[in-house]
């Protein structure tokens, strides 16, 4: 997540009244602002028309507020004993009571006289407050995963104060959602709200948020959709709605409504240096949340599709080097799981995925969401661009499992040449045993050419190529010796290419594509 982005869950917060001097300063500031406003009004003729919002949201709020709930989550853990005891002081010393009180406040006891007298480690309880909403009158409640965390006691508090004990149906940390179940009573039936279509929301559309900011209970705020498709780097499937409706700590898990009373987002995070609302809040779109919630209801877990590739974005230089028509687009395959569906289907490193299951892939950030939303076990068509030509591959999707790691078998490679060459601002050498020891290059890097020096004034330096990294491919052709690099670069120049695409491996084996100009 970006540095100032904060989850809007709320631990209990204290509030301090303003001092008299602070109030005076605020009053003076307000008076100054009012005077400036009068001066502007007097000199500006006429004032431009202001954007006009709904006359009132009272009817809408009244319609949906009973479906919005507060979430109280408590976690009880057994505190570990510190093993420390009271200092051994002479009996009757005037400081004895002082030390005893001091240590008691910190959960410590005096030295026990026997094992039977030893106190047990005290339990420690932590509480968090958040929001949620009812999507089914039978008792199904949606909230954020980070609101409940690992809580062992969760209560759903209705708008009239009635408390219902909740159980967890399922959780998803990747999109930060949790699904709860409560048992309604005959005396207090529940009211539910429907999901709306978040894809229809446009920047400028009015929205309303209801939640439990700072533990205050049902609070209504309103604003507009500021942007869509925001990536705040909180997870692999970021696709947030940004809104300027006031969202604060405790609003997490609450609904963001459209003007028809439909939930088009789940309020999740805020961007704030202070922790309070500055008008930049983020909500998980209903279009992203609904399929996850359906799976949680059906399976108690989320079953995501898995392609088995590692990807990176395509910039203009990379697009030109790949001969990609139509400019930068798609997701560039930078690595393939040896046991994944992509490998079986014939995808290769260097392929650019431009369409998946009929859905255009505009950038690398879109592909994980599209793949994850595709049912496990489904056979899909994947359109790739390979060396300038489009090819269609049929892929049987696997299931994404947490903690999956690529297993690469070690293999002994023949000793390469060690002659040094210089090209593209790089000094190159063969991938010898000595080079592996010198740069600590792992055995997962099977072959290539080692970078031994980088000209600080070169494009390669600007692209952050480092000594010890290994060039695996040049222009989508494997290289095993410095001479191969020179030969391939010269061939690309003769073809009229303006840039060359290098596949570069780190000392640890992670690979990335780097485009370098051939000026």
Burial 359-380 (b: 16+ CB within 10 A, else e): eebeebbbbbbbbbbbeeeeeb
506: alpha, beta or left, given left = phi > 0 and alpha = psi -120 to 50?
beta
Q: What is the spatial distance between Cα 221 and Cα 60, in angstroms, rounded to a whole number? A: 12
Contact present, 275 and 6 (Cβ < 8 Å): yes
Main-chain phi, psi angles of 266, to 5 degrees: -115, 115
Q: What is the SS3 assignment for 311? A: strand
**Residues counted in the chain:** 519
Task: Let me know if 56 is a catalytic residue.
Answer: no
Report the distance separating Cα 470 and Cα 416, nearest Å: 13
For 134-159, the DSSP string reads EEETTTEEEE-HHHHTT-SEEEEE-T
Give the integer Cα–Cα distance in Å for 427 and 429: 7
Q: Are 73 and 148 in contact (CB under 8 A)?
A: yes
Alpha-carbon span 353 to 345, nearest angstrom: 13
Which residues share a beta bridge with 445? none
Instruction: Note if 138 is an active site residue.
Output: no
C-alpha–C-alpha distance, residues 417 and 419, integer Å: 6
Active-site hit among 252, 277, 286, 364 = 252
Give Cβ neighbours of residue 253 (< 8 Å, ≥ 6 apart). Answer: 9, 71, 130, 131, 132, 133, 142, 143, 144, 147, 178, 211, 266, 267, 268
For residue 56, what are the contacts with CB-CB under 8 A and spacing of at least 6? Answer: none
**Spatial contact of 245 and 281, defined as CB atoms under 8 Å apart:** yes
| Residue 414 tokens, joined | 């023949």
- Whether 334 and 364 have beta carbons less than 8 Å apart is answered as no
- Please name the residue that has the structure tokens 């600007």: 462
Q: What is the 3-state secondary structure (H, E, C) of 356-413?
A: ECCEECCCCCHHHHHHHCCCCCCEEEEEEEECCEEEEEEEECEECCCCCCCCCCCCCC
Task: Name the catalytic one among 72, 131, 146, 244.
Answer: 146
**Cβ–Cβ < 8 Å for 210, 64:** yes
The three-state secondary structure class of 257 is: strand
Q: Which residue has the tokens 């009004």?
A: 41
Given the residues 72, 131, 176, 198, select the one marked as catalytic: 176
DSSP 175: T
Structure tokens at 446: 């099977």
Annotation says 252 is catalytic: yes
Strand partners of residue 10: 129
The residues annotated as belonging to the active site are 146, 176, 252
């Amino acid at each position: 997540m970006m540095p100032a982005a904060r989850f809007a869950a709320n631990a209990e917060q204290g509030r301090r009244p303003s001092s008299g001097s602070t109030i005076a300063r605020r009053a003076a500031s307000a008076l100054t602002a009012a005077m400036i406003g009068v001066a502007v009004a007097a000199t500006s003729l006429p004032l431009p028309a202001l954007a006009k919002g709904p006359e009132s949201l009272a009817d809408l709020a009244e319609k949906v507020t009973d479906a919005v709930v507060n979430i109280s989550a408590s976690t009880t853990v057994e505190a570990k004993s510190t093993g420390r005891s009271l200092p051994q002081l002479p009996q009757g010393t005037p400081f004895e009571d002082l030390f005893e009180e001091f240590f008691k406040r910190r959960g410590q006891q005096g030295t026990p006289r026997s094992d039977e007298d030893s106190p047990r480690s005290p339990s420690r309880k932590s509480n968090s407050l958040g929001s949620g909403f009812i999507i089914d009158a039978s008792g199904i409640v949606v909230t954020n995963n980070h609101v409940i965390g690992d809580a062992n006691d969760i209560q759903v508090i209705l708008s009239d104060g009635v408390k219902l004990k909740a159980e967890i149906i399922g959780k998803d940390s990747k999109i930060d959602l949790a699904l709860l179940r409560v048992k309604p009573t005959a005396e207090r039936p529940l009211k539910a709200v429907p999901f709306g279509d978040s894809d229809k929301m446009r920047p400028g559309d009015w929205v309303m948020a209801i939640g439990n900011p700072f533990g205050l209970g049902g609070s209504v705020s309103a604003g507009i959709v500021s942007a869509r498709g925001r990536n705040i780097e909180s997870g692999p499937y970021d696709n947030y709605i940004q809104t300027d409706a006031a969202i604060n700590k405790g609003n997490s898990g609450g609904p963001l409504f459209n003007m028809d009373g439909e939930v088009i987002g789940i309020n999740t995070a805020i961007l704030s240096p202070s922790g309070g609302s500055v008008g930049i809040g983020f909500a998980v779109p209903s279009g992203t949340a609904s399929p996850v919630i359906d799976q949680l209801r059906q399976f108690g877990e989320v079953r995501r599709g898995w392609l088995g590739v590692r990807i990176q974005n395509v910039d203009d230089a990379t697009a030109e080097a790949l001969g990609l028509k139509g400019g930068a687009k798609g997701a560039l395959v930078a690595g393939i799981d040896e046991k994944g569906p992509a490998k079986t289907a014939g995808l290769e490193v260097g392929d650019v995925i431009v369409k998946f299951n009929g859905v255009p892939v505009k950038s690398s950030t879109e592909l994980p969401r599209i793949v994850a939303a595709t049912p496990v076990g489904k056979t899909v068509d994947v359109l790739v661009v390979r060396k300038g030509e489009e090819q269609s591959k049929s892929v049987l999707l696997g299931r994404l499992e947490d903690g999956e790691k690529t297993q690469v078998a070690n293999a002994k490679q023949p000793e390469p040449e060690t002659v040094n060459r210089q090209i593209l601002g790089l000094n190159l050498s063969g991938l010898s045993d000595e080079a592996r020891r010198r740069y600590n290059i792992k055995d997962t890097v099977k072959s290539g050419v080692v970078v031994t020096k980088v000209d600080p004034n070169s494009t390669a330096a600007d692209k952050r190529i480092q000594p010890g990294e290994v060039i695996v491919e040049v222009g989508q052709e494997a290289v095993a010796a410095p001479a191969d690099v020179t030969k391939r670069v010269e061939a690309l120049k003769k073809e009229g290419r303006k840039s060359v695409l290098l596949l570069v491996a780190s000392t640890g084996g992670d690979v990335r594509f780097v485009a370098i100009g051939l000026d």
